[in-house]
Amino acid sequence: MDTPAMRALAVLGLPVSDDRDQESPYRFADGGAFRLEIPSVEGPRVFEAVLKEAETLDVPLHRVSEGSGIQLLTDQDIRDMAQMGHEHHIEVSLFLGPRAGFEPSAMQFSPNGGVIRPRLRGMDAVRAALDDAFRAYELGIRSVLVADEGMIWLHHTLKSQGLWPPDLTIKVSVMMGAANPLAIKRLADLGVATYNCPTDLTIDQLATIRRVTPVPLDIYVESPDDVGGFIRYREIEEFIRYVSPVYLKFGVRNGPNIYPSGYHWESQAVLMGRERVHRARVAWEAIQRLGLAAMMSPLRTVAKDLAVPVL
């Protein structure tokens, strides 16, 4: 079948359908095809628990990310997380900004209002998110998590003018929602370091994204209930072979939404952090059985420039 749309896409050198006709030719700069990430590490105590559980279960970790946001962390919280990341050579990514879901937004409660929850509402929110980035950087963080197109464009523009710290990277949240190769390529062209794909994309859809852009992709092997609750351990080999370079992320199904977290959720957040590491152990054993362990990025060098101690 030949259609005008297919001819137009072909002229642009773009795929005309989703498929996995070839394995990914791309890797991280260190040669690795995949890395392991624990998300929802809500503060220093949870990070400590994750590190301890990873040591106990012998789970390699490359990155942790946090979702409640920089605005709810004290300076000492941020320093502690940066220090732990530096000592253990693990990237630490903290969420930017006073997103709409935490503010008095009426639209977020409407039937179709979920689209606005991770976004920044107005320039006051944009300025606050930018202050978050600069504050976290001063306290030792070298990776920030975003879910707003405006902040991604601002990062790109400020960096081109020398006004953004050159070693502060942008990681895009799963809440962003871009779900096709062209939208994700556009974000990659603006300089994002990694993109967290929607949790329900098929291997064919993910492989087609990889054909269009080499930007590293984050994929939930197990996703929290509020972003799908999918359990995709049997697809790990396909993620590695067709989507690399890829961060494999481990949420927990059948767990509460703890955002925004704090002391009132800390015991639950610690238990969920430990279980995420346990899930990562399940995946790591599967990876070893499949003979793919050698394709992992090396440890202790990945994040050497992504966190610095600030005393």
Lowest mean pLDDT, pick from 1-10, 197-206, 238-247: 1-10
Q: What is the 3 state secondary structure string of 211-261?
A: HHCCCCEEEEEECCHHHCCCECHHHHHHHHHHHCCEEEEECCCCCCCCCCC
Residues 6+ apart with CB under 8 A from 175: 117, 118, 147, 227
Domain ranges of the chain: 23-295
CATH superfamily of 23-295: Aldolase class I (3.20.20.70)
Query: Whats the size of the chain, residue-wise?
Result: 311
92 three-class SS = strand
Written as six digits, the tokens of 115 are 């689209």
Beta bridge pairs of residue 99: none
Which pLDDT value is given to residue 310?
Answer: 44
Phi, psi angle pair for 211, to nearest 5°:
-65, -25
Residues 6+ apart with CB under 8 A from 207: 18, 19, 20, 24, 242, 243
98 has a pLDDT exceeding 90: no
Q: Assign residue 26 a region (left: φ > 0; alpha: ψ between -120 and 50; beta: otherwise).
A: beta
Which pLDDT value is given to residue 262?
Answer: 86
Q: Is the pTM of this model over 0.75?
A: yes
